[in-house]
């Protein structure tokens, strides 16, 4: 059994899945958004393939903790995903994860084009790793 994390954007979905021991987040290929239905179908395939039993979706809040328009969209997607999969979906504070992912990729020496390719996946990994670390504490 594993946990999946999603970094949900308007154009892409970053995906990470834990190892079986729920210790380490592994990035998966980023999904390019199409329609709500096809996005959920592709996620359902990953859920089945990796035996996912819980989903954590990064919630983009304002820095003061208030909901943003994007966090409301994210919550709506999370509800629809939970209804479609019958798997618990948890919203997780993702403030600064995309920024941290961008910095991490820049430190690795990747140019801006390569960073754009990987930032959603790395952000999903950071969301999942923070969730896993909190569960272990």
pLDDT, tens digit (0-9, with 9 covering 90-100), for 38-84:
999 999 999 999 999 999 999 987 778 788 898 999 999 999 999 99
What integer pLDDT is reported at residue 98 of this predicted model? Answer: 63
Domains in the chain, please, with CATH? 2-60+69-136 (3.30.420.140)
How many C-beta atoms lie closer than 10 Å to residue 122's C-beta? 25
Q: For the whole model, what pTM was predicted? A: 0.85
Rama region for 61: left / alpha / beta (φ>0; ψ in -120 to 50; rest)? beta
- For every residue of 53-78, DSSP letters joined together read EEEEEEE---TTS---HHHHHHHHHH
Question: 115 pLDDT exceeds 60?
Answer: no
pLDDT confidence tier of residue 6, bands split at 50, 70 and 90? very high
């Amino acid at each position: 059994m594993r946990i999946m994390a999603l970094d949900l954007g308007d154009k892409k979905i970053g995906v990470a899945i834990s190892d079986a021991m729920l210790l380490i987040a592994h990035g998966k290929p980023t999904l390019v958004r199409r329609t709500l239905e096809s996005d959920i179908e592709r996620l359902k395939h990953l859920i089945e393939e990796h035996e996912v039993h819980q989903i954590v979706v990064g919630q983009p809040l304002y820095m003061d903790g208030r909901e943003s328009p994007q966090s409301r969209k994210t919550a709506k997607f999370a509800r629809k995903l939970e209804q479609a999969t019958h798997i618990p979906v948890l919203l997780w504070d993702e403030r600064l994860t995309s920024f941290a992912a961008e910095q991490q990729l820049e430190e690795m020496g990747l140019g801006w084009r390569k960073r754009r390719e990987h930032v959603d996946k790395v952000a999903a990994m950071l969301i999942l790793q923070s969730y896993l670390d909190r569960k272990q504490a």
